[in-house]
Structure 1
């Protein structure tokens, strides 16, 4: 669906303004799809992002501030997300042996199981959301990287 139809706006100030609105609208579209997808698993897209960051640590602990630095959405509250995942048994918090003020976070077996369950389904979701062929996806990725400088 064209942006103009989706938001019922006939024209934009200029193509740059339309591009910004289009990116914001598309981001909201994607997040809505992801929220619907993750709901049966009791997760949010941000919690899923934290679990993926922890899985990438390959069993090594990581601090909440390091998780925050790696988050896709820098505005997310990593401490709150970690606490919710802890309540669900998907992560553990441990006092750092070398610095008692620091708390290390590790993914649990339950957290890994959920990620493994989601793995193949996520690939399908990504392709369902981004209805482009591989060449178009490569071009989109190049353009988005270029946009961010």
Structure 2
């Protein structure tokens, strides 16, 4: 369905139609992924932190490293980490070499939950992208990268 029909408006200029279409579609995808991780009692940002920590392959990450790698960079990363600690999915430890530095690790419980949640997220991602050919996926990724890299 065309974006104008979805938001019940008249034909828009191409530039407005494109931006609104990207924003609307991003929210739709976010809602689908939120639904996929909800049974695991985690949010998308918590899921993202768990993936970042798993990618460290047992090495700790500090708050700055996690923030740099977040999909949605937000100021409440500390709160996200605190919630994951409360759930037993990550742990925090003071760095032995630099007491001012805090190291964050994923726990075995966090790894197990992440593996289960990743299966659900992957299924949603595939369901969404199955509507596109491999060439369309490549072209879409190229176009999105170009949109992000434009200078104001």
**1:145 Cα shift?**
1.2
- Deviation string for 1:49-88 (max 9, x for gaps)? 0000000100000101110111000125211111111111
**Map of 1:38 onto structure 2:** 37
RMSD value, Cα: 1.2
SS in 2 for 1:33: helix
Corresponding position: 1:144 with 2:144? yes
d(CA) in 2 for partners of 1:119, 1:109? 15
The worse-fitting range, judged by mean Cα deviation, of 47-56 and 121-130 is: 121-130
In the alignment, the residues of structure 2 paired with residue 58 and residue 104 of structure 1 have an alpha-carbon distance, to the nearest angstrom, of: 14
Q: CA deviation at 1:127?
A: 1.6
Partner in structure 1 of residue 10 of structure 2: 10
- Report the alpha carbon displacement of residue 119 of structure 1 after superposing the two structures with TM: 3.0
Instruction: Give the distance between the partners of 2:52 and 2:128, measured in 1 at CA.
Output: 22
Q: Which runs of 5+ in 2 are unaligned?
A: none
**CA offsets 1:77-130 (integer angstroms, 9 cap, x no match):** 211111111111100000011221111100000110012112333221102123
Change (3 A) 1:143 1:71: same
Equivalent residues in 2 for 1:59-98 (5 A)?
59-75=58-74, 77-98=76-97
Q: Distance in 2 between matches of 1:58 and 1:64?
A: 17
Counterparts of 2:77 and 2:140, CA distance in 1: 29
Question: Could you tell me whether the CA contact under 8 Å between 1:46 and 1:76 is conserved in 2?
Answer: no
Q: What TM-score do you get using the length of structure 1 for normalisation?
A: 0.93
- Structure 1: stretches of 5+ with no match in the other structure: none
State the Cα distance separating 1:143 from its structure 2 match.
1.0
Aligned equivalents of 2:29, 2:76: Cα separation in 1:
20
